[in-house]
Amino acid sequence: FRFKDSLAGGLRRADLVISHAGGGPSFCLETLEEGKPLIVVTNEKLMNNHQLELAKQLHRDGHVLYCNCRYGAATLQSMDLGGLKPYPPGQPEKWGGFLDKVVGFQ
């Protein structure tokens, strides 16, 4: 995509998403929360390969397939999306409750 204000519409229409594993407002997590199958392509040249850590954990948990740029085509050819597990919904209220306790609001 060229620059878009939001990828939400495209994400809802997608049958498969291929994305990087960058941090920040993570498109990976947004994709998984939409219930879309995801292949994460890591960029080994960025900041000590920080993307690999997220990709590996999501893969170990059974939610994504991952590869680097070199193996993208092979991953697409051999992928089995049927084995991916749904990503559990977030529970932001738990984080809020924890923060309330830490700062003494409860």
Residue 2 lies in a domain: no
pLDDT on residue 8? 83
> Which residues of 1-106 form beta strands (DSSP E)?
17-19, 38-42, 65-68
Output b/e per residue, 9-41; b: 16+ Cβ within 10 A.
eebeeeeebbbbbbeeebbbebbbeeebbbbbb
Strand order in the sheet with 65-68: 17-19, 38-42, 65-68
The H or E element that residue 103 is part of is helix 92-103
Residue 87 lies in a domain: yes
pLDDT tens per residue across span 35-67 = 999 999 987 776 666 778 888 999 999 999 999
| Whole-angstrom distance, CA of residue 92 vs CA of residue 78 | 36
pLDDT on residue 65? 95
Residue 74 lies in a domain: yes
Question: In the predicted model, what is the mean pLDDT of residues 77-93?
Answer: 89
- Residue 88 belongs to what domain range? 7-103
Residue 1 lies in a domain: no
pLDDT on residue 69? 85
Residue 33 lies in a domain: yes
CATH number for the domain spanning 23: value is 3.40.50.2000
| Whole-angstrom distance, CA of residue 74 vs CA of residue 77 | 5
pLDDT tens per residue across span 1-29 = 677 777 788 889 999 999 887 655 478 88
| Whole-angstrom distance, CA of residue 78 vs CA of residue 94 | 38
| Total domain count, the chain | 1
